Structure 1
Amino acid sequence: MAGSTRNRSVAEEPVTSVLPGGDVPYDPSHDLDADDELLASLGYKSEFKREFGLFTTFCVSFAVLGLLPSFASTLFYGMGYAGTAGMTWGWIIAMVGIQCVAMSMAELCSSMPTSGGLYYASAVLAPPGWGPFAAWITGWSNWLGQVTAAPSVDYGVAAMILAAASIKNPDYVPTSYQTFLLTVFLMLIHGVMSSFPTKWLAQINSGGSTFNFIALVIVIILIPAGTDRADRGLPKFAPSSEVWGTIYQGTSFPAGVSVLMSFIGVIWTMSGYDSPFHLAEECSNANIASPRAIVLTSATGGLFGWFLQVVVAYTVVNIDEVLESDLGQPFAAYLMQCMPQKMTLAILALTIIAGFAMGQGCMIAASRVTFAYARDDCFPGSRYWKQVNQTTLTPVNAVWFNCVIGILLLFLIFGGDLAIGALFSIGAIAAFIAFTTPIFIRVFFVGNRFRAGPWNLGRASIPIGVVASTFVALMVPILCLPSVTGKDLTSDLMNWTCLVYGAPMLGAIIWWFVSARKWFKGPKVNIEHMMLGRQGNVVEGAELKGVESYSEAPEVDSSKQKAGLEEKPTELQ
């Protein structure tokens, strides 16, 4: 490496890396800009075009969040477990914990802006000897949450389409077989669309997210303005004392537990804010834009989601009839209670289109997670799933791998409403465990030794991380509870989350102890290392050996870190 340029050290970069504190790795294929240099200091070469910015990243994330279709798909849980009280003040309580998780995740994203961020963070921050196992658990849990997202969203969209057909023709009753086929068709469409080039995906998701937001605002305004409760002999809005003060006993548990159980709707609805993390390698100015997109998504979603909850809570007529309607879709049944038919169909149409855009965003985010984990050989056949298509420059194989898995999961439709409902519970619990594992390690094992990126929480980091960890520790067992107990609990009323989530996770743990612990060492380096003065020392695609856990690393000098951040990227020769 001839030349007089000073070479940047990994220790000077505003990142938390698995690499030792030597010079930033050198990628001979192209010059490194600021984003590529950060990624190289994390041990990865740049393989995607960085055609996402703050707004387009937020658009994908907000599309994945899909407030309107998410709310419509999970109304059974939010309204059915605790009624309007759970939907109003219950949402506010849940959002405190969720926002703490989002902010803590954003801090990790700024420090480790890579597609496999949560998994990468667990590996780096874990105590000595535990990094690979922490990465393994985080990775598999995150992947389960991601791979169930698109099929659960598309199932909700299919159910709404068929419910609209039932509203138009009351003699038509949708069958499980028809719901399955329509959902598979939507999955295949999203698989094709997710295989497009990055630039196309950014444009499509910008349009989808914009429509999601506009549709949400329209529905929030349209429902209170167009409700015909008065024509049915009811007050235009339910009294506040009833909306805020009456807890609907939709479970066999005490009222407080029922409210906590209703949080599944909030958690699943708000679970898309991690998408900017997984798109970090396709985002410019990633260590600032991506964490900002995470927090912006969570805050915007929490606020507008609450407005939607309040509107529905004040206009619902009969909760029992909503839950037991022959339409098979609670949101459609709710609209029929308080809206004229034409307006009901118009709102359903908006929700269906928004849901379609949401499913597309979920498919994209899941494919990036699969690519990132396959890059480190986490899956059987990883050499296929980590390939980047040379025409589109996107992980097309990973898209179709997830699509096939999602279609197989849709056979749960034939097990009844509670069986397919496990997809929603899995999405909530799997995502929460993956989100919080690195946060928990960072708070309780690393503490103030954590090297924060340019976007950070400062002194509030530890307290916010503690709240996030406590909230998740409370909610994980709650999400596994059945709605009934005792002699009323039968196989068709059982909460199958423990089985559908627990079985693959147990399999992953057994695989770890039997085999994976011998060969899986956590994140792999896939960029050439050519250190100054050691040009002959090239390590490519091998896992790091002998790197100490970050949890035992000395505290970083903040002034030196700041100086390293403010320097211009080195021009490597």
Structure 2
Amino acid sequence: MAQRNASIVSASGRKRSVAEEPVTSVLKGGDIPYDPDHEWNADEEVLAALGYKPEFKREFTLWTTFCVSFAVLGLLPSFASTLYYGMGYAGTAGMTWGWLVAMIGIQSVAASMAELCSSMPTSGGLYYASAVLAPPGWGPFAAWITGWSNWLGQITGAPSVNYGTAAMILAAASVQNPSYVPTNYQTWLLTVFIMLIHGCMASLPTRWIARVNAAGSIFNIIALIVVLILIPAGTNREDQGLPRFAPSSEVWGDIYAGTDFPNGVSVLMSFIGVIWTMSGYDSPFHLSEECSNANIASPRAIFLTSAVGGTFGWFLQLVVAYTVVDIGAALDSDLGQPFAAYLTQVLPQKAAMAVLSLTIIAGFAMGQGCMIAASRVTFAYARDDCFPLSKYWKHVNTYTKTPVNAVWFNNIIGCCLLCLIFGGSLAVGALFSIGAIAAFVAFTTPIFIRVFFVGNRFRPGPWNLGKFSIPIGCIASAFVALMVPILCLPSVTGSDLTSDTMNWTCLVYGAPMFAILIWWVVSARKWFKGPKVNVAHMMLGREGAMLEGQEMKDEDRSSDEDRIGGEKKVPGEMPKGAQVGDMKPHGL
């Protein structure tokens, strides 16, 4: 094979090999775009080599990025919102050892995603990675499926979180005034009001958003620790003639008969609570274009969010599992919110209201984080013209330097989705189901492609899993392949299965995705070519020429058909003759 040491010219005039750059380029020949009047910093070089020009201020750090993702994770409000599934399907056994089993798969997904983020730190995230890693000719289709699945999960995030927050606020009112019974109309109005507040907050400049989310995440952490201490210390189980804590044999061994399926399947069905709770760690991927030292800080934030969240989440599960008095009564309470009902079982009223108040504030911070993450996803996809009227949604506000239009585009859709509230608890519960299944399908698609189609040809970033990359990716893929059908199962079978008890996840998620597939076959396959390159760049071998404003041809735009010196370049593979310089693996 012919080998060549391609070089580029930096703004300082020094000629250097493309292999010196810590990037994974999808441009033709692996070239690095440059502006002769601007000296690229490390983050700009990484992003430009991936095909995009810098458009945001990089004012997020590892800490503030972690804060956004931890706020989106929102352990306390997420747990409170999904307690109906986590405890209702399998009882305390699903909450204790069931959580640990689920976290093996979830942490594998997070680690594999972090590895992709280090190699390709763009706002497009998983959608971009799917396009780059897919086999020849399949890149646009892989990006299309991943992007739309991820977007469906993202736009349901803020509405579902804010619905849970509104339900807890109204449940608190019912605790204070037992004669008050919230109506669907009141729940809808309150949820929409919270959505509008979050839309205004998500439209602020990046620096302000980073500070707000840092404060919100700090509060989330403090509130979680307070709750972990307050419930065991303040429980009044002994006043009810019960031991202070339930026996471990019951907590770990008894499986609550919340479904008509065998116990093992019931435990797997309870994982919807774990999966939905632990689905916010992709946020650093979407914020990577606003983060300094992105190809290290962003993947670290992904891994830490899942690891820290999983650990503290399990502690919270243990606290509730060891103190709950009556699972059935908590699930069927007139308060309409199982977590609020649980608190009234195990705590005096004032203590219960204190915990509920902390959860509500944490839920507010979580909803705002979800709004931010979703807007960055919408911006990234609109930048590649995935949506009708994309030119409006990809606009970056000249004052705030944030995608304000994308924020309000998502907000309007979210408010429309909240009309499901009028269909009852099962209908609005579809928001949670979509969030779980859509997110994990999007998370795992590029991981599956990387493991089974790219293999050892993958070019990792500075944060990577080394020799454990493929085994961990296999675990992640197998976990999601198992959970997707499980999440679609109804809790009852036979004659008890009616339209009111049916699990509508397969329809609510499947119908839009089926329509998207039809759109692809009928139209999108003709014009959608995957992630676009929107920077003027210099092709290798043409060191003296800048190809300003030139649109890449369809065959050049496909990341998997690029050639170097007439030879086919494999996606993710180092250019022939290049040396790994700054791309040496550093492990975890």
**Same fold per superposition (TM over 0.5):** yes
User: 5 Å matches for 1:517-556?
Assistant: 517-531=525-539, 532-540=542-550, 542=552, 545-546=555-556, 547=558, 549=560, 552-553=570-571, 555-556=573-574
- Structure 1 alignment gaps of length 5 or more: 567-573
Whole-angstrom distance in 1 between the partners of 2:282 and 2:324: 32
Say whether residues 1:176 and 2:175 are aligned partners: no
> 1:457 maps to which residue?
465
- Cα gap change, 1:11/1:143 in structure 2, threshold over 3 Å: closer, same or farther? farther
> 1:16 maps to which residue?
24
Match of 1:326, SS state, is coil
Out of 473, 484, 494, the residue aligned to residue 476 of structure 1 is 484
Are 1:107 and 1:453, in contact at CA under 8 Å, matched by a contact in 2?
yes
Are 2:75 and 2:277, in contact at CA under 8 Å, matched by a contact in 1?
yes
User: 5 Å matches for 1:312-327?
Assistant: 312-327=320-335
User: What percent of counterpart residues are identical?
Assistant: 76
> 1:199 maps to which residue?
207
Whole-angstrom distance in 2 between the partners of 1:2 and 1:336: 65
Per-residue CA shift, 1:284-304, capped at 9, x if unaligned? 000000000000000000000
Are 2:12 and 2:39, in contact at CA under 8 Å, matched by a contact in 1?
no
Out of 253, 256, 259, the residue aligned to residue 261 of structure 2 is 253
Match of 1:533, SS state, is coil
Whole-angstrom distance in 2 between the partners of 1:521 and 1:92: 41
> 2:51 maps to which residue?
43
Q: CA deviation at 1:555?
A: 4.7
User: 5 Å matches for 1:360-379?
Assistant: 360-379=368-387
User: 5 Å matches for 1:108-119?
Assistant: 108-119=116-127
Say whether residues 1:562 and 2:580 are aligned partners: yes
Whole-angstrom distance in 2 between the partners of 1:489 and 1:171: 33
Match of 2:555, SS state, is coil
Per-residue CA shift, 1:223-268, capped at 9, x if unaligned? 0000000011111111101000000010111100000000000000
> 2:305 maps to which residue?
297
What is the TM-score with the length of structure 2 in the denominator?
A: 0.93
- Cα gap change, 1:453/1:230 in structure 2, threshold over 3 Å: closer, same or farther? same
Say whether residues 1:497 and 2:505 are aligned partners: yes
Structure 1: which amino acid aligns with 2:203? S
Q: CA deviation at 1:509?
A: 0.7
Whole-angstrom distance in 1 between the partners of 2:367 and 2:17: 41
RMSD: 1.8
Say whether residues 1:439 and 2:451 are aligned partners: no
- Cα gap change, 1:519/1:142 in structure 2, threshold over 3 Å: closer, same or farther? same
Structure 1: which amino acid aligns with 2:349? Q
- Cα gap change, 1:195/1:562 in structure 2, threshold over 3 Å: closer, same or farther? same
> 1:262 maps to which residue?
270
Whole-angstrom distance in 2 between the partners of 1:562 and 1:552: 16
Greater mean alpha carbon deviation, residues 427-436 or residues 493-502: 493-502
> 2:172 maps to which residue?
164
Q: CA deviation at 1:5?
A: 2.7
- Cα gap change, 1:57/1:514 in structure 2, threshold over 3 Å: closer, same or farther? same
Structure 1: which amino acid aligns with 2:545? Q
Whole-angstrom distance in 2 between the partners of 1:387 and 1:466: 38
Are 1:110 and 1:290, in contact at CA under 8 Å, matched by a contact in 2?
yes
Are 1:157 and 1:352, in contact at CA under 8 Å, matched by a contact in 2?
yes
User: 5 Å matches for 1:53-452?
Assistant: 53-452=61-460
Whole-angstrom distance in 1 between the partners of 2:245 and 2:36: 66
Whole-angstrom distance in 2 between the partners of 1:49 and 1:11: 26
Q: CA deviation at 1:553?
A: 4.6
Q: CA deviation at 1:493?
A: 1.0
What is the TM-score with the length of structure 1 in the denominator?
A: 0.96
Name whichever structure is richer in helix by fraction.
1
Structure 2: which amino acid aligns with 1:449? R
Q: CA deviation at 1:501?
A: 0.9
Match of 1:426, SS state, is helix
Are 1:66 and 1:212, in contact at CA under 8 Å, matched by a contact in 2?
yes
